[in-house]
Amino acid sequence: MAAAKLSKRVSTALINALSAGVVPRVGVDQIAVGREKEVAVLLQDLENVAAGGAAFRFVVGRYGSGKSFTLQLLRSHALEQGFVVADADITPERRIAGANGTSLATYRELMKNLATKSRPDGGALAIVLERWIAAIQTQVAKETGMKPSSEGFDDKVEAKIREVVKESADLVNGFEFANVIIAYWNGHRSDDETKKMAALRWLRGEFATKTEARQALGVRVVIDDETWYDYIKLLARFVADIGYKGLLVILDEAIHLYKINIPVARQNNYDKLLAMFNDAMQGRVSHLAIVIGGTPQFLEDPRRGLYSDPAWQRRTVKSRIVKVGVQDISGPAIRLEPLNQEQILQLLKRLAEIYAAHHNQSQSFSEEELQTFLQVVVNRLGADALLTPGEIVRDFMSVLHILQQNSTLTLSQVMHGSAFQPRAKAETPSTDADNEFAEFTI
């Protein structure tokens, strides 16, 4: 049984996250059901990126439909395949385009969460640079027969490093990027931790002024609200040059762009997304995949969503040929269809197995019992067409906790007890842009 092989760390993370109604960052492949087509298309994008191409996709689904789960599943696959992955949630304080540090905050969050297979929890920027330097040192030693302690060895390493970063110097802001990378090497070479830390701070977008950057590193620019995306493109080229497959950037919760009240600011964000999309589609960037997670309102609302922009509507609208009940995932927007009952039952069975293995129990449920659970939830919440996996899973985790704490109870007793009330479906945000209280939340 796959669940029995899970480490306690992974099973704990899965159970805690699912019980709290959030998407786990580890072990997602253990509970992935019903998204085979969507994931296959996204993995094909990664293959194209590894070959030097680029990709841009939207993953669209309403709250609880599995949108964020699909993004985390893609992240897990990308790390295993040798990509560098950076992910962040869009929030009112983190945007794609904005002033006063709001878009720079998105870049900083991406850099904080930068991950590799050996450092999946984030904070991998220094690891990437150290691995690169070690690889070049090994290459120089192999080509020259010299030892790291040999006189002139570091000079040859620096010459090789300059060959690599020269590839980035021809891109926008590439010269300054290359100088910062070389500054990190110089800090490594001389055991100057201050210089290494300054280079990392600059790459993470943490320098506030050009004067501060010039004093610390001798460069005359800093990463800011206007230029952060240029450095994402540079990082993608750089990580590919040093042996990774490429860079995957995941931005979830794009509904917060839809919620921007000032039309000009909202349109600026949509224009920035369009520039990123065009870069990928027209081959102006390499080794970079960008995946955006959003709700149907973010994409399709004609007044505030992407469809309010004719350029975006033309690129993302469903084909007139596609009929109801037929899924087309070849376009830039992948719309998640609801899981069917068979897939949900498969998911519940996997969750029960993982929970039992975690608690060293032999607890198992028949398919009839799981169907009964699902039917009770559907009956009490209403139309099963609107039921999302997120709502069902959280209720099921509550039932598992109750059974674990009350060993004399059965699933049927818990389900038919008067105390069991499935969670109400999440409210769909209003699309009425004229309602002055539309964005007010408590």
- In terms of domains, do 147 and 109 share one? no
pLDDT at 317: 80
Give 54-107 pLDDT, tens digit per residue.
999 999 998 878 899 999 999 999 999 999 999 999 999 999 999 999 999 999
- In terms of domains, do 329 and 347 share one? no
- In terms of domains, do 328 and 274 share one? yes
- In terms of domains, do 319 and 347 share one? no
% of residues, the chain, pLDDT over 90: 57
- In terms of domains, do 84 and 136 share one? no
pLDDT at 423 over 60: no
pLDDT at 368: 86
- In terms of domains, do 260 and 397 share one? no
pLDDT at 428: 46
- In terms of domains, do 377 and 305 share one? no
- In terms of domains, do 181 and 110 share one? no
Determine the Cα–Cα distance for residues 361 and 357; give it in Å rounded to an integer. Answer: 6
Among 4, 82, 9, 24, CA closest to 50 = 82
pLDDT at 373: 87
Give 31-63 pLDDT, tens digit per residue.
888 888 899 999 999 999 999 999 999 999 988
| Domain-ending residue, one of 169, 198, 217 | 217
pTM for the whole structure:
0.86
- In terms of domains, do 265 and 317 share one? yes
Give 157-207 pLDDT, tens digit per residue.
988 888 878 777 778 888 899 899 999 999 999 999 999 999 999 999 999
- Of the candidate ranges 53-67, 104-118, 275-289, 351-365, the one whose mean pLDDT is the lowest: 351-365
pLDDT at 440: 36
Determine the Cα–Cα distance for residues 343 and 249; give it in Å rounded to an integer. Answer: 29
Within-domain flag for 176: yes
| Domain-ending residue, one of 296, 311, 335 | 335
Within-domain flag for 228: no
| Domain-ending residue, one of 318, 335, 352 | 335
Within-domain flag for 308: yes
- In terms of domains, do 208 and 194 share one? yes
Among 408, 376, 418, CA closest to 395 = 376
pLDDT at 422: 58
Domain residues for 308?
35-116+244-335
Within-domain flag for 439: no
Question: pLDDT band for position 362 (50/70/90)?
Answer: confident
Within-domain flag for 394: yes
Count Cα atoms within 13 angstroms, Cβ side, for 440.
Answer: 4
Within-domain flag for 421: no
pLDDT at 226 over 90: yes
Please identify which residue in the block is written with the tokens 């691995």.
131
Q: Are 103 and 112 in contact (CB under 8 A)?
A: no
Within-domain flag for 143: yes
CATH number at residue 45: 3.40.50
- In terms of domains, do 348 and 330 share one? no
- How many structural domains is the chain composed of? 3
Give 138-170 pLDDT, tens digit per residue.
999 999 999 888 899 988 998 888 887 877 777
- In terms of domains, do 135 and 210 share one? yes
Within-domain flag for 282: yes
pLDDT at 102: 96
